[in-house]
Structure 1
C-alpha cells in the first residue's frame, strides 16, 4: 500500500486573521448597502487621530497671542502671565493686572499712586546768631 501523506503548508503570520476579518466585515457592509457606516467610522477614526494635533497647534497659537512677559512695576522682577488676568508678583507679593504691554498695579478705588523721590541734602554749617 502506498499511502500519500499530504503535507500542509502553514503560514504563521500573527494578526493576519484579524486583518482578514476586518476586511471581510468592511466588504460585507459595503455589499449590503451599509457603506455609509464604514465611511462614518473612517471619519471618526481620522478625527480621533487629528484632534490632539489640532489641539496642540491651537494651544500654541493661543499662547503666542495671549502670553505676556514683563517686569513687576514695583520690584522689577521678570514675570509671565495671561493677558487680562490678575496675578501677584512672586517676589514682592504686589497684586498685578496683566495688560498687552506688561503689568500694572491693581489698586482699590481712591488710592493715589505716588512716586517717591529721595533727595539728599547737604548739611551747611550753622552760623551763630550774632547780629
Structure 2
C-alpha cells in the first residue's frame, strides 16, 4: 500500500475528527437532558460576539451627536469639542463655549467687544 496516500488521508481526517467529536459531545448532552447547557453556552457566545459591535455603533452614534468641529472666533483655529461644554482654545487660550453647534466667546456680562484698527502715525516736523 502507498504510504503517502495514507498520510494525506490521515491529515485530512484529523481536522474533521475534531468537529465530529464536538458534535458527538453536543448530541450526547442534548440526549441526556443537558440541552439547556448547550443552548446557554451558544447564547453566551452570541452575546460575546454581538456586544462589542453594539458598543462600537453606540459610541459612534453618541460622538456624531455630541462632537462639534468649528473655528475659534478669535484666532480661527479649527478643532473639535463636546457639545454644551466650556473650554479654552488650544491655540490662543481664549475661554469658549459651544452654543447652537458653534463656538462663542465666554465673556462676563457687560463686556464690550471692540476691534482694533491700525492707525499709521505721521510725524510732524517743527
Scaled by the length of structure 2, the TM-score of the pair is 0.73
How does 1:10-21 map onto structure 2 within 5 Å?
10-13=9-12, 14-21=14-21
Aligned residue-pair number: 115
Structure (1/2) with the larger helix percentage: 2
Partner SS state of residue 87, structure 2: strand
Any conservation in 2 of the 1:68–1:100 contact (CA below 8 Å)? no
**Per-residue deviation, residues 43-81 of structure 1 (Å, max 9, x unmatched):** 111111112221221122111111111111222221211
Query: Which has the larger Rg?
Result: 1
Deviations 1:23-50 (A, max 9, x none): 1111111011111111111111111111
Aligned to 2:90: 90
TM-score (norm 1): 0.70
Contact 1:97 1:105 in 2 (8 A): yes
Q: Does the aligned pair in 1 maintain the 2:83–2:101 contact within 8 Å?
A: no
Shift of the alpha carbon at 1:121?
A: 7.6
* SS at 1:11 equivalent: helix
The alignment's C-alpha RMSD in Å is 2.9
In the alignment, what sits opposite 1:32? 32
Change (3 A) 1:120 1:69: closer
Where structure 1 has 5 or more consecutive residues not aligned to the other structure, the ranges are 124-131
| Residue aligning to 1:113 | 111
Is there any run of 5+ residues in structure 2 with no aligned partner, and where? 122-126
Q: CA separation in 1, counterparts of 2:76 and 2:10?
A: 72
